[in-house]
Amino acid sequence: MNTLPCQGCKGLCCGPVPITDKERKLIHKKLKAMPKKLREGLAHQQRFPGTCIFYDVNHDRCGIHSFRPDVCRLFGYHEDLVCFRKPELATKGKAPIKERHVGYLSIDFTWKDFQ
């Protein structure tokens, strides 16, 4: 199978990820448009230190899946973004990220930057 076996990992690889300014703005816009109850439910979850601020612990999935950063979309399929559970899927060359990253989610940007 050519898919990553993410189910059951419980966000194992969802640590601080780098984002571009465009991604920061998109995440901000989409979170603002999210129903308040959903957004606040996600914001106030208890996570292990180091886990991405957008990892949805309650549902075991990315809480911003449809607007997650490119690095998360490309993860597992490129030689510089290898999933250790299925390294054979990293058959593509370097991840095609052209824009400069402006910081890391969880470190440089936390929930207070997206309120």
Give residues in contact with ligand SF4 (CB under 6 A): 4-6, 9, 12-14, 17, 52, 54-55, 62, 64, 68-69, 72, 75-76, 83, 85
Minimum CB distance to ligand SF4 smaller for 76 or for 109: 76
Minimum CB distance to ligand SF4 smaller for 7 or for 93: 7
In b/e form, how buried is each residue of 60-92, taking b as 16+ CB within 10 angstroms?
eebbbeeebbbbbebbbbbeebebeebeebbee
Taking the complex as a whole, the smallest distance from the CB of residue 40 to ligand SF4 amounts, in Å, to 17
In the chain, the amino acid numbered 15 is G
